[in-house]
Chains A and B, each alone.
Chain A
Amino acid sequence: MATLAERLARDLLLDPGSAAALASSFVRATREDLEGLQAAVRAGDGGAIASLAHHVKGAAANLEIEAIRSRAEALELRASAGDFAPLAGLLAGMNSELRRLEAELRQAGPPRAE
């Protein structure tokens, strides 16, 4: 099965280095957003959750990472509706998928910075 960087290189006609850098950029930005999301969930700040989830959803849609996009969308909708109960589960699922991508990037070696 192709890694994220390999898929990006193929679909977006990027060289492997650029594709790896793009994948790394996504993972780094999403990790930051995820930490913000966890803090916002702890604080019960629905506005911040929806805003951060929207941010993650957009980038995941750009790169067509459905496992993260769908969870981010669900987070945004639930937070906007004030339904906080399923948020922890959604975050855990997103975190798990992100960890998988981080491990994948570590195996491929250091990426090029933006």
Chain B
Amino acid sequence: MAEILIVDNHPVVRQYLRELLEREGHSVHVAEDGLAALDLLAGIRPQVIFVDLVMPNIDGAALCRILRRSPEHREAYLVVLSAVAAEAPELVGQCGANAALAKGPFRVLGPAALQLVNEASARGFVGVREGIAGLEEVHARQITRELLLRKQHLETVIESLQEGILELTAAARVVYANSAASGILGLSEERILAAELPLLFPEGQREAVRGLLAAGANTGPELEVSLGERRLALRYYPFRETGSGGVLLLADVSERQRLEARLAQAQRLESIGTLAAGVAHDFNNLLTTILGNAELMTADLAASHPHYGLLQEIARQVQSAKRLTAQLLGFSRRGRYEVRVLELNTLIRETAEAFGRTRKEIVIRLELDADLHAVEGDLGQLEQLLLNLMVNAGDAMPCGGELALSSRNCGHEEISANLFTPREGRYVLLSVRDTGVGMDARTRERIFEPFFTTKEMGRGTGLGLASVYGIVKGHGGYIEVDSSPGQGSTFRIFLPSSSAPAPRAAPPPAAPESAHCLLLVDDEQPVLTVAGDMLSRLGYTVLRAVSGEQALKVYQEHRDRIRAVVLDLVMPGMSGVELFARLRRLNPEVKVLLASGYSSEGEADRLLEQGAAVFLQKPFTLQQLSETLARLLGASPR
């Protein structure tokens, strides 16, 4: 005689089959659903198991899959009981059962069940019985077919979701799990089904999971838990019937959180950049006044005068301060870019040579692609970028080491997956690799923030890598960092390739003409005064205007005399940009020198593209002012 388990959610079916089989001398157990069956199977090893296909709390198909993978029960003779055997015989075949029995009238089902058990017993409870027993009085119904199709469709939808779905009983036991849930938890279906949900999580997380289930609000409170290195978000929706379990939604939010963190970091850098640019701009105006006055005073003094050296020292300190503001502007991408087509290898060689002279204990290795494409960039900015990276590498190798600088052409595919999709196209890849102390993840996340430094007090401003970041972004490029403690660091910079030919050397300026009259426009009175005095010192006749409106009026009155306009870009009221446009309408040939503590991104470029203009970054020396004006007017510097 056989030991038999009957799993069916209707008491009438369980009672009838039990009566029938016990009468034949078999030992019969019953279970009301898949979950109860698994609990029972922990203590028994039946030879035959009747499994109803459609049941709550772990359905028949899932139960069959679990049994077939179970070391204890994989050899059991499985008989699926199906009320839809006539409509969907393929469902019966998909369960991996040994036999199938149609759930029709008991007077047909009963004898068929007995016959199945007897046949199986005679074959030693092995093998597969073809066909569906007891089907003779069961007729296929169209409506049942349609309902089955709808059910299958919903199952396909649920299986297609990337979010994990778990159905729980009131006792928090899992009775359904879609494929995504299995993937997210990293556990097989048989490990998940029938398990208590909190036990699927590490011990330290279980209490929080229990708390989520106990909260039981229909708003679906969310809980985040760690599973290995991943972060999972859990949301629980109890069923409407009190105490009847619910549905748990499970999502792997590791990637989303990583992207959010990067976005927040990018936004933080952006806002710090705006702040830094504003400070630098105002500071440059102050420096312009200080430097201009110091230079004017120096020009009036003999070198033997006791104040001569002091004034020169003021000018030197202003130049140092200017370098700081240039770093700030570099980071904020508000520094002026004098874009030209550049051959990067020459710049790398020259900068490396200059750096190498200061750090002889560092071996510098160059791996430069001879066929490197040109880039369009600002020579000064890119030089600063290279130097900052080399100084940073040098600081990471206080006792010496190796610094490798390499360049090669590449495509956008080599730029690693970023928050934003890299712009498609060809790039020049510049790599700066050192064998220094390296950085941990925490440091790596903050290195591009201005004023963040790991160097000792007084050794670093925290602006070097911040300006590198700004310069790269300002050139439409991308920067990546690989580093870990003790393993050195590699900075990879991708700059868009240029298809433009390399520029030819500019012709020398023409000989000076007679004295020119200039219109100087600046809203800052001290700057207006000192710049005006500097221009006078250079031999120009200067007309001054403190606003765009006033400048227009002066220009209209003296248009025939004015050879060029020296124009502050950032002014209240009529901005330098608007004034420039209105001057161009009055005189399309007007020559303009744009001066600014910074230029709003792209603004100066647009003006310069329109021609007849040059740019001068504040603060400027007398010589820089002279040379820039000479370039604008096509004359030799004064």
Contact = CB atoms under 8 A, between A and B. Distances in A.
Nearest to A58: B83
A61 B86 CA distance: 14
A59 B143 contact: no
B32 to A, nearest CB: 11
B62 interface: no
Contact of B15 (A13, A58, A80, A114): A114
Interface string B1-43: 0000000011111111011000000000000000000000000
B19 A61 contact: no
A58 B277 CA distance: 77
Contact of A61 (B14, B105, B110): B105
A77 B15 contact: no
B103 interface: yes
Given A12-B110, A80-B147, A64 B105 contact: yes
A59 B10 contact: yes
B12 A25 contact: yes
A28 to B, nearest CB: 8
Contacts of A14: 19
B245 interface: no
B11 A62 contact: no
Interface residues of B, number: 22
B107 interface: yes
Contacts of A77: 143
Interface string B100-127: 0001111101100000000000000000
Contact of B12 (A11, A45, A54, A63): A63
A25 B8 CA distance: 14
Contacts of A13: 110
Interface string A15-26: 000100110011
Contacts of B103: 58, 61-62
A13 B110 CA distance: 10
Contacts of A114: 11, 14-15, 18
B82 to A, nearest CB: 11
A62 B109 contact: yes
Nearest to B83: A58
B87 to A, nearest CB: 13
A21 B16 CA distance: 10
A29 interface: yes
A25 B18 CA distance: 13
A18 B19 contact: yes
A33 to B, nearest CB: 10
A10 to B, nearest CB: 9
Given A58-B103, A62-B103, A29 B10 contact: yes
B107 A22 contact: no
A59 B52 CA distance: 13
A26 B11 CA distance: 8
Nearest to A81: B143
B13 A62 contact: yes
Given A22-B15, A22-B16, A114-B15, A58 B106 contact: no
Nearest to A55: B10
Given A12-B110, A55-B9, A62 B105 contact: yes
B19 A59 contact: no
A12 B147 contact: no
Contacts of B18: 114
B5 to A, nearest CB: 16
Contacts of A55: 9-10
Nearest to A51: B56
A25 B10 CA distance: 10
A83 B19 CA distance: 40
Given A12-B106, A29-B10, A77-B143, A62 B16 contact: yes
Contacts of A64: 105-107
Interface in A56-78: 58-59, 61-64, 77
Contacts of A61: 83, 103-105
A45 to B, nearest CB: 8
6 contacts: A12-B107, A29-B10, A58-B10, A62-B13, A62-B105, A77-B143
Q: 10 tightest CB-CB pairs across the interface, nearest first?
A: A59-B12, A11-B107, A114-B15, A26-B12, A62-B106, A64-B105, A59-B10, A25-B15, A29-B11, A25-B11
Given A45-B240, A59-B12, A64-B105, 19 more contacts: A11-B106, A11-B107, A13-B110, A14-B19, A22-B16, A25-B11, A25-B15, A26-B12, A28-B11, A29-B12, A58-B13, A58-B103, A59-B13, A61-B103, A62-B13, A62-B16, A63-B106, A77-B143, A114-B18
Interface of B: 9-16, 18-19, 54, 83, 103-107, 109-110, 143, 147, 240
